[in-house]
Structure formats: C-alpha cells, structure tokens
Amino acid sequence: MQKLLTIILTVLLAISMTACNSEKKEDDKIVIGICQIEAHAALDAATQGFKDALIAEFGKDKLVFIDGNAAGDPATCATICNGFVADGVDMILANSTPALQAAAASTTTIPILGTSVTEYGVALNIENFNGLTGFNVSGTSDLAPLEEQAQMILDIMPDIKTVGILYCSSEANSIYQVKVVKEYLESKGVTVKKFAFADSNDIYLVTGQAVDQCEALYIPTDNKAASSADIIDSVTRPAGIPVFCGEENTCLKCGVATLAISYYDLGVTTGNMAIKLLKGEVKIEEMPIEYFSNPVKKYNKEICEDLNMKMPSEFIAIGE
C-alpha cells in the first residue's frame, strides 16, 4: 500500500511539474543579445530594423533585447558575446564583421544571425563559400555590387587617372572589397593606390596622404571610416577631392556619390530570418545568407555643389 501511494504521489508530482514547466515556457520571454561593433548611422539602422521586425511579430512584451556596443573594439565584442552565452540567450544578433567573428567564436549552439556583414566566407574563413555556412550562423550581407560601384566613379569622372582607396586595415571585409574594386579599376586603365589606417587616430594623416596623390577617393563599407567620416571630410572637401562611398551614411558625411542599400531594410530582413528560426520553421544551418537587391544611385547635394560636380540624372539626392 505504501509503495502504491509512493507511485501515485510520484506520478502526480510529475504531472504537476510538467504543467508548471509548460506554464513557465508559455510565459518565457525571447531573449536576444545584440553585439554591435560601434555606434554609427548604418549599423544603428540595421539594429532598429531587426528589432522592429521582431516586435511586429511577437509584441514588445514578449521580447528582451540585451544591447552590447563594443565602442569600436573587437576584443570587447568577444567579452559581450561570451556574456550572452553565459546568460543563455535564445539568439545573438551580430551587427558587423568583428561582432560576427566574436559571436561565432563564443558558441556553436546558440543561433547567430549577422547583419551589416559584407562577405561571410571571408569573415568566417570558409573556403569556396557558397552562401551556406552549415553551422549555427546565418544572416544578411551589406555587399553592394562592387564592380558597379567602381564603374560609378568612371561614369561620373570618365577622364580620371588615379583613384585612392581609403580603408581600415583591421577589417577583413574592407580588405576584400578593396581587392575587388582595385582589380576592376585597374582593368579599365586606372591607377589605384591603397591607403590603409589602423584606427581613428591616424585617419587624418592617412587621408591627407591620399588627397595629395589622387584625383578621387573610394571608401568601402568600412565601420571605422564610417564613424570617422567627419574627419575624412575635413581633409577631402577643402582639398577639392571627391569621395565615392560604399554606403549612404558615410556618403552623407563625406562623399559625393554612392550605390546605396537601406541598412534599415537589411535589419528588417534579418529580423524576418530570426522569426522563422524562433518559430522553428527552419534550421539555421540550412538557412542561406540573404543579400540586399536593387541598390540605389544617390548623391550628396551639398558636397557636390561645393566641389562644382554635376551628377547624372539617374542619381537621387540623399534625403529627397
């Protein structure tokens, strides 16, 4: 009798615990850690688009976003992502290449979605990358058509002979973009000079060297350049040297023209990928990287006027 009573109590306890756990699961919030390499308009827009997509689907009360900003330091990205893993978050959003690299190094089990990452194969050291990582990482790429961006320079300045490429030497995806743009311009007979800076401390000096040697500059989608765009403008505009940019927000501060993507829309696309993962509709290892389509030709009206440059009719003024 005592044994039977024990069995009954054990069964009832198991049922009770199952009910409690089911209720807890129903009430659990979705916790997402967000690691962003630094604050600047493009990355901020991508993060906001990601959040807005998730809030629209699940409601604000169901979500907890833990925001981590590394203030431009890749080592801090590692600290942030390791903290997310220790906290047991449900998902990590890695905004930028250094954030993605840190997140991928921190966990092989928690789903990681990247955004504002140019080339995942380069960032994750995957040879012959085909758009699918095969492990716990996927996301969206901000890779604009690089050869079209290079051709944009030639279309606007058809007689140009020398172009300088300004970029941060510690950003792997910037190095990739520089290679593609350099090869394309050189195939068109243009002399290309590379000007790499290590961090914001030497960007003023390096930009000064570039304007002394080149007729125009090109800046890829480079986080450090984006956050230092005002410094670049303080050198290039007085010197009368036009700057062509890989993305709109950098162009807004120091450039004349860009073949632009919407970082907010890129974030929304990443958010929609997160929704599918959280609903169990797809496995992350089977989710290919998504790319932004239909970039728009835009120009900076103020800087173009200052440099007496007239843009082709198909270019749209930023902000209009």
Q: What is the CATH number of the domain that holds 171?
A: 3.40.50.2300
Whether residues 198 and 132 fall in one domain: no
Residues in the chain: 320
pTM: 0.75
pLDDT in tens, the chain (320 residues): 444 433 343 333 333 333 333 333 445 899 999 999 999 888 999 999 999 999 999 999 999 999 999 999 999 999 999 999 999 999 999 999 999 999 999 999 999 999 999 899 999 999 999 999 999 999 999 887 899 999 999 999 999 999 999 999 988 889 999 999 999 999 999 999 999 998 888 999 999 999 999 999 999 999 899 999 999 999 999 999 999 999 999 999 999 999 988 899 999 999 999 999 999 999 999 999 999 878 899 999 999 999 999 999 999 999 87
Say how far apart CA 288 and CA 307 lie, in whole Å: 43
Whether residues 168 and 157 fall in one domain: yes
Whether residues 92 and 209 fall in one domain: no
Element (H, E) at 64: strand 63-69
In single-letter form, the type of residue at position 318 comes to: I
Going by their DSSP bridges, the two strands 63-69 and 257-260 should be labelled as: unpaired
User: What is the three-state SS of 132-188?
Assistant: CCCCCEEEEECCCCHHHHHHHHHHHCCCCCEEEEEEECCCHHHHHHHHHHHHHHHHC
Q: Where are the alpha helices (DSSP H) in the chain?
A: 2-27, 41-58, 74-87, 97-106, 120-123, 146-156, 172-187, 203-213, 223-227, 229-239, 248-254, 263-278, 301-306
Total domains in the chain come to 2
Whether residues 256 and 151 fall in one domain: yes
Q: Which residues contact 42 (CB under 8 A, 6 or more apart)?
A: 116, 142, 221, 226, 247, 248, 249, 250, 263
Whether residues 106 and 192 fall in one domain: no
Confirm whether 5 is domain-assigned: no
Element (H, E) at 258: strand 257-260
Residue 69 to residues 31, 72, 92, 164, 196: CA-CA distances in angstroms?
Answer: 17, 8, 13, 31, 24
Whether residues 177 and 38 fall in one domain: no
Say how far apart CA 257 and CA 244 lie, in whole Å: 5
**Domain boundaries, position 118:** 11-16+23-142+262-288
Whether residues 208 and 225 fall in one domain: yes
Confirm whether 4 is domain-assigned: no
Whether residues 174 and 83 fall in one domain: no
Say how far apart CA 50 and CA 113 lie, in whole Å: 10
Indicate the burial class of 16 (C-beta count within 10 angstroms; 0-12, 13-18, 19 or more): exposed
Say how far apart CA 83 and CA 216 lie, in whole Å: 43
Whether residues 201 and 304 fall in one domain: yes
Going by their DSSP bridges, the two strands 243-245 and 216-219 should be labelled as: parallel
Whether residues 112 and 207 fall in one domain: no
